Amino acid sequence: MKKPSGHHYRQGYLLTDPQKTIRVRLTETTGFLTIKGVSVGTTRSEYEYEIPITEAKELLDNFSTSELSKIRYHIEFNNKIWEVDEFLGDNAGLFIAEIELKSEDEVFDLPEWVTKEVTEEKKYYNSNLTINPYKNWAP
C-alpha cells in the first residue's frame, strides 16, 4: 500500500483531567477548540469548535500546559476511514489508528497493519502522551 499524504497537527492542552480535557489543535488551514468528557467503554462525549488560526496559535503559545505534534493520514479500508496518527518529537516511532463507529457493537474488519487494540489503555490518549511521551516507555 502506498503511503497517502498526511496533514500536520500541532495540539496542546489547556486542561488535562481524568474527567475532561480541553484541547487546541492547529492544522495547516484552521484551528479547533475541543472539549472531551470521560471515556465510558469506547464512547466519549466530544464537542469541537472551529476557531481562527491566529487564536489557535495564541492559545497554544500562551495557555497550553502540554503539547504534541503528529501527522494524520486518512486510509480507507473495507468502507471505513481510518485516521492514522504518526507522532513526532518525544513520541516519534508511535503510530495510532482509529475509526469512528456508529455504535460500540458495530462489527468491522481490522487492517493487517493494526497490531494491538489500545482503546482502553489510557497511556495512548493524546493528552497523556504529552505528559508521559512514548520515548519514556520501557521497551
Please report, for the domain that includes residue 32, its CATH number: 2.40.320.10
Write down the pLDDT at residue 42: 62
Q: Is 13 a catalytic residue?
A: yes
The closest of 116, 78, 110, 76 to 96, measured between CA atoms, is 116
Mean pLDDT of the 67-79 span: 94
Q: What is the pTM of this model?
A: 0.88
Whether residue 103 is contained in a domain is answered as yes
The closest of 134, 90, 138, 99 to 117, measured between CA atoms, is 99
Whether residue 1 is contained in a domain is answered as no
Selected catalytic residue, list 13, 49, 73, 124: 13
Mean pLDDT of the 75-96 span: 95
pLDDT tens digits, one per residue of 23-45 = 999 999 999 999 998 877 666 78
* pLDDT bracket for residue 102 (50, 70, 90): confident
* pLDDT bracket for residue 101 (50, 70, 90): confident
Write down the pLDDT at residue 2: 67
Domain span including residue 81: 7-136
Query: Judging by DSSP bridges, how do beta strands 95-98 and 66-77 pair with one another?
Result: unpaired
* pLDDT bracket for residue 18 (50, 70, 90): confident
Whether residue 47 is contained in a domain is answered as yes
Domain count along the chain = 1
Q: In this structure, what C-alpha cell is assigned to residue 78?
A: 473495507
Write down the pLDDT at residue 10: 97
Amino acid letter, 101:
L
